[in-house]
């Protein structure tokens, strides 16, 4: 009986222990999948640029997507921007006070918000809200054969669904970032006034004193890339989602995860380039 149990345990252990060669094969396969995915996204992006300049232009749908991406995200971006500015100011005030450098708070907050926190946080919020929305919408359209139906009826679904959405996110996310930056600075102004009394004019003159073109321009340019990648990943995941409701969920989820990761990667590259030129 004891021997039998030992034999069974050995067999079980054998089953659970995957040979090293198989482990290497599986990690090789997952690496291969990553490269295949990157190649497919690149091809998708190339197709986007090709289709973007080809008539007919779906102007009405583009405006609708701008409204959905931009206007519908204003409240969320505004509230988070305000809290971001307020919290950053409240948290940094005691430390700055220790060095007697409270007067530098507006400048410090402005540089950190405009250069880094504003664009990145807004892009992450949009990756969550807009990217997942696009992934889920296109995924469910794929599952319910609406994309096939468009194709059969003579429309170009890529142009109608993908080009308009990527263009909308590319143009609207920079606008949302500017909006978020302004609201954040106002949040910071409110934060400063919780402990001190600083006039609106003085606060914002300190803000603009500390900002330079090298703070504004690269930060603004990278937001177009953030917008592009959020739209691209959302559309790619939705447009190529597998059949079934599970596929829709996966499309929405991976759209957020990959777009968020890409935002950080683009940000890192942008910082390197900015540092190189400054």
Partner 1 sequence: MENREAENKEVNDNKIIVEMKNVKKSFNQNHVLKDVNFQLNRGENLVVLGKSGTGKSVLIKCIVKLIEIDSGSLMVFNKDTLTLKEKELNEIRAKIGFLFQSGALYDSMTVRENLEFPIRRRSKTVTQDELDSSVKEVLENVGLEDTIDKMPSELSGGMRKRISLARTLILKPELMLYDEPTTGLDPITSQEISELILEVQKKYKTTSIIITHDIKCAKITSNRIMVIDGGGFIAEGTYDELKASDNELVSSFFK
Nearer to partner 1, 19 or 154 (CB): 154
Nearer to partner 1, 161 or 256 (CB): 161
The span from the CA of 65 to the CA of 77, in Å, is 17
Nearer to partner 1, 10 or 151 (CB): 151
Given 39, 42, 103, 148, the residue binding partner 1 (CB under 8 A): 148
Given 14, 154, 213, 277, the residue binding partner 1 (CB under 8 A): 154
The span from the CA of 231 to the CA of 131, in Å, is 6
Nearer to partner 1, 147 or 270 (CB): 147
Position 29 contacts partner 1 (CB under 8 A):
no
Site stretch for partner 1 (CB under 8 A), options 24-32, 78-86, 150-158, 206-214: 150-158
Position 144 contacts partner 1 (CB under 8 A):
yes
The span from the CA of 61 to the CA of 50, in Å, is 18
Position 212 contacts partner 1 (CB under 8 A):
no
Position 221 contacts partner 1 (CB under 8 A):
no
Among residue numbers 93 through 122, which ones bind partner 1 (CB under 8 A)? Answer: none
Nearer to partner 1, 22 or 148 (CB): 148
Position 178 contacts partner 1 (CB under 8 A):
no
- Neighbouring CB atoms inside 10 A of 217's CB total 11
The span from the CA of 163 to the CA of 58, in Å, is 9
Nearest to 215 by CA among 104, 122, 107, 86: 107
Given 90, 155, 198, 221, the residue binding partner 1 (CB under 8 A): 155
Alpha-carbon separation of residue 173 from 33, 77, 91, 208 (angstroms): 30, 10, 27, 23
Q: How far is C-alpha 190 from the chain's CA centre? A: 28
Among residue numbers 249 through 278, which ones bind partner 1 (CB under 8 A)? Answer: none
User: Terminus-to-terminus CA distance in the chain, angstroms?
Assistant: 77
Position 56 contacts partner 1 (CB under 8 A):
yes
Position 245 contacts partner 1 (CB under 8 A):
no
Given 93, 146, 253, 274, the residue binding partner 1 (CB under 8 A): 146
Q: Where are the alpha helices (DSSP H) in the chain?
A: 2-16, 20-52, 59-69, 74-98, 105-112, 118-126, 132-143, 146-152, 157, 164-195, 200-210, 213-239, 245-277
For the CB of residue 55, give the shortest distance to partner 1 in the complex, in Å. Answer: 10
For residues 117 and 88, the answer to whether their CB atoms sit within 8 Å is yes
Given 11, 149, 242, 245, the residue binding partner 1 (CB under 8 A): 149
Residues that bind partner 1 (CB under 8 A): 56, 140-141, 144-146, 148-155
């Amino acid at each position: 009986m004891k021997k039998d149990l030992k034999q069974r345990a050995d067999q079980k252990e054998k089953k659970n222990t995957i040979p090293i060669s198989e482990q290497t094969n599986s990690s090789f396969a997952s690496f291969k999948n990553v490269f295949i995915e990157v190649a497919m996204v690149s091809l998708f992006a190339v197709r986007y640029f090709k289709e973007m300049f080809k008539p007919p232009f779906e102007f009405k749908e583009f405006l609708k997507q701008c409204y959905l991406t931009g206007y519908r995200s204003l409240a969320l971006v505004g509230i988070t921007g305000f809290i971001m500015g307020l919290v950053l100011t409240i948290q940094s005030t005691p430390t700055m006070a220790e060095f007697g450098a409270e007067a530098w708070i507006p400048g410090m907050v402005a540089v950190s918000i405009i250069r880094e926190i504003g664009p990145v946080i807004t892009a992450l919020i949009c990756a969550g809200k807009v990217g997942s929305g696009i992934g889920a919408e296109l995924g469910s359209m794929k599952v319910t054969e609406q994309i096939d139906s468009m194709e059969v009826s003579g429309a170009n679904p890529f142009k109608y669904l993908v080009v308009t959405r990527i263009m909308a996110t590319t143009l609207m996310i920079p606008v949302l970032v500017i909006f978020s930056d302004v609201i954040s600075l106002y949040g910071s102004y409110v934060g400063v006034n919780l402990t001190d009394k600083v006039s609106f004019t003085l606060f914002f003159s300190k803000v603009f004193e500390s900002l330079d073109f090298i703070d504004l321009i690269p930060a603004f340019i990278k937001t177009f890339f953030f917008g592009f990648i959020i739209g691209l990943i959302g559309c790619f995941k939705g447009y190529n989602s597998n059949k079934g409701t599970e596929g829709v969920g996966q499309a929405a989820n991976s759209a957020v995860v990959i777009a968020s990761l890409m935002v950080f990667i683009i940000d890192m590259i942008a910082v390197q380039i900015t540092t190189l030129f400054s």
